[in-house]
Amino acid sequence: MNILIVDDERLIVKGLKHSLEQNGFQVYTAYDGKQALDMVNFHQLDFILLDIMLPEIDGITLCKKIRENKDIPIIMLTAKDDYIDKVLGLEFGADDYVTKPFNTRELIARINAVYRRYAKKHDEHEIIELGNLSVDLSGRTVAKNGQDIALTVKEFDLLKALVKSPGRVFTRENLFDIVWNESIFDTRTVDVHISNLRDKVEEDPSKPVLIKTKWGVGYYLKRG
C-alpha cells in the first residue's frame, strides 16, 4: 500500500515512516499542505494520514481539495482533543481520525480496517436504480442524472446499507456498527456522514426525498 504522511512535525513523520515501512507500507512524506497536494496529484496513493494543523494549506482545506477529485481513504491526525476538529474533518471527507499522541499499533490497525472496507470485494453484481440515482454495488460507483458522483468510502457504505434494505429504519447505532465496525459510538459521526451523503445524492438536501429521517429513531431509504 502506498501511503502519504502529511505532518509538519518531522520527528513524528520520521518515526511513523519507519514503523509503517517495517509493516510493509511504501511511504511518501510531505511537511506542508502545498507539498502534499503536489504529491497527491503526481503519485498513485492508496492512503493518506493527514495532520489538521499544517502550513501553506491546512489539513481541513486540503482534505476538501483532495475529495474534489480523488477517492483516497484519509485518516486525520489532530493534536486537539476537540470534537469540532474531528467533525470538520469528517464533514470534508475524512474516513477516520486519530488524536495525538497515538499508539502506532492502534494507528496501523485503524489504517488496515479503513482500507479493508475500502478495498473489499462484494458479492453483489447489480445496479440499483433510485429515480435519477444509479448505484452499482459491485463497482462501488454512484451516478446522478447520468453523471458520476464521488462518495467517500463511508458514504458509499452508508448508502449501500440503506439501499439493500429499503424501508428499514436503521438506528444510528445500527449504521455505526455496520459501517465503522467499532464499539465506540458518537451520533455526530453518523449524522455528519448522512448529511454529506444527502448533499451529494439529493436534489434538494434540505428536503430529502430519498434518505429520510425517522425522528427519534434513525434513517431509512424511502421505498419506490
Kindly list the domain boundaries of the chain, sorted by start residue: 2-119, 127-221
In this predicted structure, the answer to whether residue 84 has a pLDDT above a threshold of 90 is: no
Split at pLDDT 50, 70, 90, the class of 143 is very high
Whole-model pTM: value is 0.56
In this predicted structure, the answer to whether residue 109 has a pLDDT above a threshold of 60 is: yes
pLDDT for 181 equals 74
pLDDT for 122 equals 42
Q: What is the pLDDT of residues 149-178, one digit of tens each?
A: 999 989 999 999 999 888 888 888 888 888
Q: What is the pLDDT of residues 28-69, one digit of tens each?
A: 999 999 999 999 988 888 899 999 989 999 999 999 999 888
CATH match of 2-119 with 3.40.50.2300: yes
| Ranges 60-64, 80-84, 112-116, most confident | 60-64
Is the model more confident about 167 or about 219?
219
Taking a C-beta distance cutoff of 8 angstroms, is the pair 199, 192 a contact?
A: no
Split at pLDDT 50, 70, 90, the class of 3 is very high
pLDDT for 123 equals 43
Distances (CA, A) of 86 to 14, 42, 52, 58, 76: 24, 28, 9, 14, 8
The DSSP secondary structure of 14-52, one letter per residue, reads HHHHHHHHHTT-EEEEESSHHHHHHHHHHS--SEEEEES
Comparing CA positions, the residue from 11, 19, 4 lying closest to residue 62 is 4
127-221 maps to which CATH number?
1.10.10.10
3-class SS at 133?
A: strand
In this predicted structure, the answer to whether residue 121 has a pLDDT above a threshold of 70 is: no
Q: What is the pLDDT of residues 90-104, one digit of tens each?
A: 788 888 889 888 889
A 10 A CB-CB count for 214 gives: 11
Q: How high does pLDDT run on average in the chain? A: 87
d(CA 110, CA 144): 31
pLDDT for 128 equals 87
